Amino acid sequence: MRFPILLATLTSAVFAHEGHNHNPAADEMNKAATVFLASLDEPQSKAAKFDFKNKERENWHFVPMDREGVRFDSLKPHQQHLAFGLLGTGLTQKGLLTATQIMTLEEILRSRGGDPEVRNTEKYSIAIFGSPSPTKPWGWRFEGHHLSLNFSLLGDKVIGLPAFFGTNPAELKKGPLKGLRPLGEIEDAGRAFTNDLIKAGLSPVFSEKPPKEILTAQDSTAKAQEVAGVTSDKLNGEQMKQLLAIIDGVASMQRKEIINDSLRKINTTQRKKLHFAWAGSLERNAGHYFRIQGVDFIIEYANTQNDANHAHLVWRDLNNDFARDSLKKHYAEDHK
């Protein structure tokens, strides 16, 4: 299949909403992944494809290391376009912009003397688990330094967690991209909310010293953290809006068709069962950490490394990362 035909097929996949699925994101992922796989030669295909039940599917990382999957820099230009097309089926325009900015930061670090192989803007890998299907479970991952985007599909249901974004530097302080802060809005919103709570006599600060890293780390299964800070049942209407706006800011990286089920639970059954906690300094450019935790999810943000100019953001589902809970229900129904 030649590139113009592949590109035409991808275009129709990205914009078409018809098909077996009621969820456009699932339909488009199926089509985009199928076209991407069709573009690969035999060695590339062998590197990219895994069984759905392979343990590698839950082996996620965000450090600059070698990964399983087909390397982005091993792809030809037209294959790279198709890979970005697949990535675009899972992220919003904001999310895709953030991801590409994070990848670009690797070149900044390389230009400052970093190892050219470690600081490689194309040292990212794509892995497909199972075969794209409108009915059978399958999944895919786009991962490299400071990016780990994991998608699991069961028919028209898409689970996009865990989702990790990191930035080093968190803010570019010199050069032509001076002022670039890919995660800056989220950090600023967390700090502003903390300051407003303190003024209202509801301090969420649980420690003057922040943890060195997000506490859920790179564990395949995230663990709930202790309840700390301020619980949402203590918040007034305006404060609740601020808290939900931070959650919405993180959620806005992913397409609404993917994240809406999680947001619906947070806004209804979990609304009064959230907690917001802050650790570290409230000064800009000083180490800090905050988290939002509900019944079955946790969002963590840490900016503590490299003189508090190196940020990590993660959203984890305590039950359904990698679609674990959904798959149990799926297999139980299938067995019936």
pLDDT (tens digit, 9 = 90+) per residue, 223-270? 999 999 999 999 999 999 999 999 999 999 999 999 999 999 999 999
15 CB-near residues (< 8 Å, 6+ apart): none
**Percent of the chain with pLDDT strictly greater than 70:** 93
Mean pLDDT of 190-204: 98
Residue that has been written with the tokens 């050219």 in this structure = 116
- Evaluate if residue 292 carries a pLDDT over 70: yes
pLDDT (tens digit, 9 = 90+) per residue, 111-148? 888 777 877 888 999 999 999 999 999 999 999 999 99
Interatomic CA distance for residues 335 and 224, integer angstroms? 31
pLDDT band, residue 48 (cuts 50/70/90): very high
pLDDT band, residue 335 (cuts 50/70/90): low
Sign of CA dihedral 222, 158, 90, 259: negative
- Evaluate if residue 63 carries a pLDDT over 90: yes
Interatomic CA distance for residues 128 and 324, integer angstroms? 17
Residue that has been written with the tokens 């796989």 in this structure = 37
Look at residue 2 in the predicted model and tell me its pLDDT.
40
Interatomic CA distance for residues 43 and 28, integer angstroms? 25
pLDDT band, residue 336 (cuts 50/70/90): low
Residues in the chain, how many?
336
Round the average pLDDT of the chain to a whole number and report it: 92
Closest CA to 132 of 221, 13, 41: 13
| Structural contact between residues 57 and 151, judged by C-beta atoms closer than 8 angstroms | no
Interatomic CA distance for residues 72 and 199, integer angstroms? 48
Look at residue 233 in the predicted model and tell me its pLDDT.
96
The CA radius of gyration of the chain, in Å to the nearest whole number, is 20
Of residues 133 and 3, more confidently modeled: 133
CA distance from start to end of the chain = 41
pLDDT (tens digit, 9 = 90+) per residue, 145-180? 999 999 999 999 999 999 999 999 999 999 999 999
